[in-house]
Chain A
Amino acid sequence: MPIIQLQGLDYQVANQVILQNISFDIHQGDYVALLGPNGGGKTTLIKLLLGLLTPTKGEIKIFNIDQKSFTKCNKIGYVPQNVSLFDSNFPLSVYETVSLGLAAKKSWFSFLTKIEREQIDAAMDTASISHFKDKNLSELSGGQRQRVMIARALVSQPEILILDEPSTGVDIVTQKKFYQFLKHLNREKKLTIIFITHDLGVIADDVNYVLAVNQKLVFAGTSEEMLSCESVSELYGTKSHIVHHHCRGHEC
């Protein structure tokens, strides 16, 4: 049984079509890359999944529940775009930031329980940020902030993690480490991961499912299939050639 089902999804703003007839399923444990050109509707699709926007037509089911009736928001962790460009003056420690991931399920006037504090510690351990938990966000690098935001998303123990362009604004080494970390979360923690990326190279090794969106669903399949010139050309509307480099026997 898929944990996310989209059927005939349309989204329009003032008669302008943003997304049209999108249908796909995502299963437990999938590691999904969402590709597409700028303005192709990737972020809109993510916002529809999260319930931040309402579809014009069609159906979204999360854990077999209609998105409009879905209330178990803690089952989905979300890391927004431009985390590394986050307001550096905001006076928030790493610990405070991660604890905000529990804010939605906390009732008013309640303190963090021992179990919740353990959840925060566990999320920080998973993201390897425990050693700077008292530092302010302003003291962290872009890559470290990304991990903090992921820890915040993980603290409510979600089953699905959605990330909007997580590699924006960080250098290539940090990017590589970051994608290794995502792979670890998917493989070891059995987390279903959906992330938006422009980096075709990233999807080649790790992800098991690729969705390519340019107003319509252009492609849904494996990364090997996606990396055929036809799919890439169709997605970006321009002739493309994929060049594979091999370094010491490994593709890179």
Chain B
Amino acid sequence: MLDIFDYDFMQRAFVVGVALSLLTALLGSFIVLKRYAMLPDALSHIALLGVGIGLVTHSSPIYMPIFVAVIAGIAIEYLRYKKKLYSDAILSIFLSGALAMAIVLINLSDGFNASLFSYLFGSITAVSDEEMGITVIFTLFALIILLGSYRQMLFVTLDEETAQASGINVFWLNLMLVVLSAVTVALSMRIVGILLIGALMVLPISTALLYKENFLKTVVIAIIFSIVSVISGLFISFYLAISSGAAIVLVALSFFILSLFINI
């Protein structure tokens, strides 16, 4: 049964999956509570633009999406916080604009191929050693930053204005959250897929919120749901030969529906 781990690609998928599930649950907690749940979706479509640029310019399929997502993330936060534009409108503009540009670039390259399909829906065989290394290092880095700043980040998430009045640098903390999310989304697209990464960031915390616990317990519950969803999804993906992203998201969705009934 457990010969699944005899495959190198599955070992990599599990390492990357667990690391990213931890990170997406933590980042997702702040993002959802800030009413910013569209951010991961916008960033994932922006990362697709990075894939498109990578296909046309034959540059790195790992670094180009990260680079494009981070630049766009900074622009989104600048427009939202400094220019006071509506966040849902900005996200919608970036999402559709990036998707349109990505489609044009993909048309200009070899068009739709199997590799692109794996970016859209996730593939357990797609994770390379290099991606695994980057993901693990980045996860450790991001966890240190998030745990270190969690109190300030929580205050900003609850009430930006009062946090700023108390002396917290709200703009930099928001920027940090968006940049960490951009890199996480770009790294997650191989295993979860561009079209489904938003769900992995939003579902675990939405499920945890149904249990009406305090913040720390809610985040721990979200992390547990996230890790279990990813591990179960990878098993299902392997044995049923279906897209890993879809399997992971369906498990996470099942937890949400189950929790909804438990907490009625």
Q: Does B129 contact A (CB under 8 A)?
A: no
Q: Does B163 contact A (CB under 8 A)?
A: yes
CA A151 to CA B40, docked complex, whole Å: 35
B146 to chain A, nearest CB (A): 10
B165:A50 contact, CB within 8 angstroms: yes
Write out the residue numbers on chain B whose beta carbons fall within 8 Å of the beta carbon of A91. 33, 208-209, 212-215, 217-218
The residue that B167 contacts in the complex, of A74, A92, A96, with Cβ under 8 A, is: A74
CA A7 to CA B45, docked complex, whole Å: 51
Write out the residue numbers on chain A whose beta carbons fall within 8 Å of the beta carbon of B96. none
Interface of A is mostly: mixed
A103:B215 contact, CB within 8 angstroms: no
Would you give the 0/1 interface string for A121-141, flagging 1 where the beta carbon is closer than 8 Å to chain B? 000000000000010101000
Write out the residue numbers on chain B whose beta carbons fall within 8 Å of the beta carbon of A95. 214
Chain A residues 23-48 with CB under 8 Å of chain B are: none
Chain B residues 189-216 with CB under 8 Å of chain A are: 208-209, 212-216
CA A108 to CA B167, docked complex, whole Å: 14
B147:A109 contact, CB within 8 angstroms: yes
Would you give the 0/1 interface string for B214-235, flagging 1 where the beta carbon is closer than 8 Å to chain A? 1111100000000000000000
A71:B158 contact, CB within 8 angstroms: no
Q: Does B164 contact A (CB under 8 A)?
A: yes
With A99-B151, A100-B151: A52-B167 Cβ-Cβ less than 8 Å: no
A73:B148 contact, CB within 8 angstroms: no
Q: Does B168 contact A (CB under 8 A)?
A: yes
The residue that B162 contacts in the complex, of A80, A89, A102, with Cβ under 8 A, is: A80
Write out the residue numbers on chain B whose beta carbons fall within 8 Å of the beta carbon of A108. 148-149, 152
The residue that A100 contacts in the complex, of B33, B155, B208, B216, with Cβ under 8 A, is: B155
Q: Does A214 contact B (CB under 8 A)?
A: no
B154:A103 contact, CB within 8 angstroms: yes
CA A89 to CA B213, docked complex, whole Å: 10
Interface range for A: 20 to 34
CA A108 to CA B163, docked complex, whole Å: 15
CA A194 to CA B17, docked complex, whole Å: 52
The residue that A103 contacts in the complex, of B151, B216, B217, with Cβ under 8 A, is: B151
For chain B, the count of residues having a C-beta within 8 Å of the partner chain is 27
Chain B residues 57-106 with CB under 8 Å of chain A are: none
B209:A52 contact, CB within 8 angstroms: no
Chain A residues 51-98 with CB under 8 Å of chain B are: 51-52, 71, 73-74, 76, 78-80, 89-93, 95-97
A90 to chain B, nearest CB (A): 6
Find the residue from A73, A91, A92, A109 having the highest chain B CB count within 10 A.
A91
Q: Does A106 contact B (CB under 8 A)?
A: yes
A120 to chain B, nearest CB (A): 12
Write out the residue numbers on chain A whose beta carbons fall within 8 Å of the beta carbon of B168. 103-104
CA A93 to CA B213, docked complex, whole Å: 8
CA A52 to CA B149, docked complex, whole Å: 22
Write out the residue numbers on chain A whose beta carbons fall within 8 Å of the beta carbon of B165. 50-52, 73, 76, 78
CA A236 to CA B152, docked complex, whole Å: 41
Mark A residues whose CB is within 8 Å of B: 50-52, 71, 73-74, 76, 78-80, 89-93, 95-97, 99-106, 108-109, 134, 136, 138, 156
Further 20 A-B residue pairs, CB within 8 A, beyond A92-B154, A96-B154, A106-B151: A74-B166, A76-B165, A78-B162, A89-B209, A91-B208, A91-B209, A91-B217, A92-B215, A93-B214, A93-B215, A102-B151, A103-B152, A103-B166, A104-B163, A104-B167, A105-B167, A108-B148, A108-B149, A109-B148, A134-B214
Interchain residue pairs A-B with the least CB separation, the first 3: A73-B167, A108-B148, A93-B214
